[in-house]
Amino acid sequence: MPKLTYTEAQRALGERLTADLKQRGYDATSAPLIAILPLNATAELALFDALDAHQQVIVIVTDDQPLPKLIDHLQPLDFRKGAYPFELLTREIDRLQAPDAPPPMVVLTPKQRMANRQSAIVFVLMALVMFGVGIYLVGGQIVQFPVDEYNLVETERVDQRNTIIAPTVEALLPRSTEQALNFESTLQAAPTRLREFARQTATAIAP
């Protein structure tokens, strides 16, 4: 039958529910935890264990105290002032045991918070170790910039510039004072992709 958690003050209600649920033939295999509030430390630990195990939880209130923040998203059953809505409880148990029952809500319990902190610490340490290894490899020149590869790429770029671009740019360069005075107009008439090359080359060869 469903497991109940309650304090000594709710023992009479807890034992009555236990007997009535047993008489109805409820099985504990997939039954939700029934938590009768308010909770003491022992009952709270049982609640945390159920939430950590992603178990369905049914909350019963017996006084006007607000629900703990950890489970304030749940809709409690009202057993206050001697009320005993047992049929409502059994319907809720049946609903949560049905094949189409909603999944238990994930709750950030103290155990889950600790697990999250430990995971964060592990990730930070891994990042620091990787950073330190990188600094050591680069600083000790174990890993170096690929100079040969860079030089090869740069050589290909210069060859391309000299073979394809230079001849076209050459025709745009000023060779006389008059051409120098009209150079800006010449640039505006040139293809856009060649203007900067021509301007830089003209600047480089200017007397």
- Please report which residue ranges of the chain form alpha helices under DSSP H: 11-24, 41-52, 86-97, 110-139, 147-160, 166-170, 177-181, 183-189, 192-205
Domain count along the chain:
3
Amino acid residing at 93: I
Amino acid residing at 21: L
Residue 198 lies in a domain: yes
Residue 168 lies in a domain: yes
Closest CA to 18 of 119, 105, 73, 89: 89
The residue out of 97, 118, 133 marking a domain boundary is 97
The residue out of 39, 73, 97 marking a domain boundary is 97
Greatest mean pLDDT among 15-24, 129-138, 164-173, 179-188: 15-24
Determine contact, residues 1/30, Cβ cutoff 8 Å.
Answer: no
Range of the domain at 199: 147-205
DSSP for 141-184?
Answer: TSS---HHHHHHHHHHHHHHIIIIIHHHHHTTS--SHHHHHTHH
Determine the Cα angle at 131 with ends 126 and 135, to 5°.
150
Give me 22's structure tokens. Answer: 């047993």
Instruction: Report which DSSP code applies to 5.
Output: E
Residues 48, 126 share a domain: no
Which helix (DSSP H) or strand (DSSP E) does residue 59 occupy?
strand 57-61
pLDDT-based confidence at 189, cuts 50/70/90?
A: low
Residues 93, 10 share a domain: yes
Residues 136, 152 share a domain: no
| Whether residue 64 has pLDDT greater than 80 | yes
Residues 122, 161 share a domain: no
pLDDT-based confidence at 79, cuts 50/70/90?
A: very high
The overall pTM is greater than 0.85: no
Residues 15, 41 share a domain: yes
Residues 25, 73 share a domain: yes
Q: Which residues contact 74 (CB under 8 A, 6 or more apart)?
A: 57, 58, 59, 67
Residues 138, 93 share a domain: no
Residue 103 lies in a domain: no
The answer, yes or no, to whether the previous bond of 38 is cis (omega within 30 of 0) is yes
Residues 165, 81 share a domain: no
| Whether residue 3 has pLDDT greater than 80 | yes
Residues 112, 171 share a domain: no
Residue 122 lies in a domain: yes
Name the least confident of 20-34, 170-184, 190-204. Answer: 190-204
Query: What's the mean pLDDT in 135-149?
Result: 67
| Whether residue 1 has pLDDT greater than 70 | no
